[in-house]
């Protein structure tokens, strides 16, 4: 099996960042070792939003240009994005429990990510429910565009809810000032995860192309007569 350069670089960077995070980055004073989940949690969130952004852009472009490649991109980015969104939702509570004492605290960002997760799932379930390729691409694109326009409102309303709604005061884990050594690790983790995303996106894209070609060969007619 041929291993691409991108795969090697992506995996190597992620491994390198983890090693740096675990062994070469100091433990944060107030939160202890649990704080290091930040180096997985934060970049995962970044990728989750980046992936969603790409789904939105690809969707808009698809409705305009009707190029099937754009649909492959949207489909791939959605699946990869879902994985990273799931990672955010898993690492969040794991981090919250030792630091805040509760797994889920309706923190604005995490709550928003939860709703985003459902948007992703809805998108993928929609795709799975349509056989005809052209209709599937079109409908997904419509959902992608709607998502792009309305997701900011989800963020705003959740944020408003959290800031205007009296709730028990909690410690905010990501303190604004981090020592440079930590910042470097954090930034590196963002870069590494982005590479990981690009690699996974590309692989998933190739799969989408191959599967479409195979469907065509196997079933010949697809779509309305």
Partner 1 sequence: MPNRPPGIGRAALMIARKDLLIELRSRSAIFSALAFSVLALAVFFFAWDPTAVGSGDLASGVIWVIFTFSGMLGLHRSFGGEQPTRTIDALIAAPVAGEAVFLGKGLANLVFVAMVQIVTLPAAALLYNVPLVPVALPLAGVVLAAAIGLVAIGTLFSAMAVNTRLAELLLPLLSLPFFVPIVICASQATAKLMAGRPVSDAADYLRLLVVFDAVAVVLSTLVYPSLIEQ
Partner 2 sequence: MIRAERLTRTFGARRAVDGVSVELAAGDCLALFGPNGAGKTTLLRMFGGLLKPTGGTASIDGVALPGGPEVRAKVGVLSHHTLLYDALSARENVEFAARLYGVPNVRAAADLALQRMGASEYANAPVRRLSRGMQQRVSIARAMVHRPGVILADEPFTGLDASGAAALASLFAELRDSGATLVIVTHNLEEALSLCTHAAIMRNGQVVRYDTAPIPDSAAYTALYKEMAVDA
* Positions that interact with partner 2 (CB under 8 A): 68, 132-134, 212, 216, 220-225
The interaxial angle of helices 38-65 and 180-219, nearest 10 deg, is: 40
- Tell me how far apart the alpha carbons of residues 163 and 175 are, in angstroms, rounded to a whole number: 18
Q: If you write DSSP's letter for every residue of 68-121 in order, what string do you get?
A: HHHHHHHHHHHHHHHHHHHHHHHHHHHHHHHHHSSS----HHHHHHHHHHHHHH
The DSSP bridge partners found for residue 28 are 32
Q: How far is the CB of 222 from partner 2 (least distance, A)?
A: 7
Q: Does 157 bind partner 1 (CB under 8 A)?
A: yes
Pick what 164 binds: partner 2, partner 1, none; C-beta below 5 to 8 Å, kind-dependent: partner 1
Between 97 and 133, name the residue whose CB sits nearer to partner 2. Answer: 133
Q: Which stretch binds partner 1 (CB under 8 A): 50-58, 87-95, 111-119, 211-219?
A: 111-119
Nearer to partner 1, 74 or 182 (CB): 74
Helix 38-65, helix 133-164: angle, nearest 10: 130
Give the shortest CB-63-to-partner 1 separation in angstroms.
6
The answer to whether 210 and 76 are in contact (CB under 8 A) is no
Q: Tell me which stretch binds partner 1 (CB under 8 A): 36-44, 48-56, 120-128, 196-204.
A: 120-128
Say whether 168 sits in a helix, a strand or coil: coil
166 contact, one of partner 2, partner 1, none, CB 5-8 Å limit per kind: none
Question: At its nearest, how many Å lie between partner 2 and the CB of residue 54?
Answer: 23
- Rounded Cα gap, residues 19 and 12, in angstroms: 10
Q: Which residues bind partner 1 (CB under 8 A)?
A: 63, 115-116, 118-119, 121-122, 125-126, 129-131, 134-135, 138-139, 141-143, 145-146, 149-150, 153-154, 156-158, 160-161, 164-165, 224
């Amino acid at each position: 099996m041929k291993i691409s350069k991108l795969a090697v670089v992506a995996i190597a960077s992620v491994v390198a960042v983890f090693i740096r995070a675990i062994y070469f980055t100091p433990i944060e004073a107030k939160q202890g070792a649990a704080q290091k989940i930040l180096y997985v949690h934060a970049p995962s969130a970044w990728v989750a939003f980046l992936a969603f952004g790409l789904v939105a852009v690809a969707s808009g472009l698809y409705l305009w240009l009707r190029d099937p490649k754009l649909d492959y991109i949207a489909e791939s980015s959605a699946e990869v994005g879902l994985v990273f969104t799931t990672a955010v939702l898993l690492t969040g509570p794991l981090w919250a429990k030792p630091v805040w004492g509760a797994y889920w605290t309706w923190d604005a960002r995490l709550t928003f990510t939860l709703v985003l997760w459902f948007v992703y799932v809805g998108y993928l379930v929609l795709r799975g429910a349509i056989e005809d390729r052209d209709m599937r691409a079109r409908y997904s694109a419509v959902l992608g565009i709607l998502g792009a326009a309305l997701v900011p409102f989800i963020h705003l309303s959740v944020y408003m809810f959290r800031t205007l709604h009296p709730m028990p005061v909690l410690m905010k884990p990501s303190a604004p000032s981090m020592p440079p050594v930590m910042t470097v690790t954090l930034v590196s983790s963002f870069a590494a995860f982005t590479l990981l995303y690009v690699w996974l996106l590309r692989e998933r894209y190739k799969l989408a192309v191959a599967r479409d070609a195979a469907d065509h060969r196997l079933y010949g007619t697809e779509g309305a007569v």
